[in-house]
Amino acid sequence: MPARLARLPHPWNLNDLAARRAAVKAWKVTQERREEAFGALEICLSYLAGHPPRPADAPDVLGDRFHDGFFGLTRRFAADFPTIQDMSFERIRQWMRDNTDLDVLFGPGVTDPPAEAVEVFGRGWLRGTVRGATRLVTEWLIDAVGRPRGHDVTTSQDGLRLKEMLKSAVPRLHEDDAADPIGAIWTLDRSGQLDYFTRLENDPALPEQTRETAKGYRESTEIEREIRNGTLSDQS
């Protein structure tokens, strides 16, 4: 685990999604909490940028039987590894020994999960947790920078900081991960980012899926602007 990710604080480091959401829900919005959340978001975005998902055409070293059966074991895994800091290669390998049928998964006589299988599973789980934490901390910050209600998040210092952090991350993220930050930027300032979405859409250096996501938000922004101005045509 990268040293910086190992510093991801509670509750963003919780492996159990329900526990993470419950802990975050109990947070009161203070400037100290905002700073903690900004720090967590920076760590999460940096990790995702440096650790893209496993290529779709990569060999499936775990196999269908593992994937089919693991859904029933997710609660047990999260209970045995409450935080990402509890995870390690050897601990995950031992957990697979204790909780899976190695003969069925990897062949008769196999007593140890293959190292590649342990690595792929551990990294996949870790990445999923970080991606979920990224989404949750972004949602929390969007709400937090809007406190008190009616606060103009488009011009507030924290609102601008959040937008710039997300914008900085988008070009570095895999296309599967970029959609959430782009959507968050639209949520924060849905009428003021038309030029930004247009630039993303027309940036040849970005993955096609990222550009398509930006196109969708550009079109939504234009439609909302036409509705406000009363210029939306019947063909729109």
The arithmetic mean of pLDDT across residues 47-53, rounded, is 95
CA–CA gap between residue 162 and residue 145 (Å, rounded): 9
Q: How far is CA 33 from CA 130, 144, 158, 233, in A?
A: 19, 9, 12, 45
Can you spell out the DSSP letters for 39-64?
A: HHHHHHHHHHHHSPPPPTTS--SSHH
Q: State yes or no: pLDDT of 233 exceeds 50.
A: yes
pLDDT of residue 77: 94
pLDDT of residue 150: 57
For residue 228, name the pLDDT band (cuts at 50, 70, 90).
confident
Q: Which two tokens stand for residue 33?
A: 């909490």
CA–CA gap between residue 114 and residue 59 (Å, rounded): 14
Q: State yes or no: pLDDT of 49 exceeds 70.
A: yes
User: Could you read off the pLDDT of 163-174 as tens digits, one per residue?
Assistant: 999 999 999 999
Q: State yes or no: pLDDT of 149 exceeds 60.
A: no
148 versus 9: the higher-pLDDT residue is 9
Nearest to 39 by CA among 155, 107, 133, 116: 133
Q: Are residues 140 and 172 in contact, defined by beta-carbon separation less than 8 angstroms?
A: no
- Phi, psi angle pair for 229, to nearest 5°: -85, -5
pLDDT of residue 236: 45
pTM for this predicted structure: 0.90
Q: Which two tokens stand for residue 183?
A: 């959507």
Instruction: Give the ranges where the chain is alpha helix by DSSP (H).
Output: 17-25, 31-50, 63-70, 74-80, 89-99, 102-106, 115-144, 157-169, 175-188, 194-201, 208-229
User: Could you read off the pLDDT of 64-95 as tens digits, one per residue?
Assistant: 778 777 778 888 999 999 999 999 999 999 99
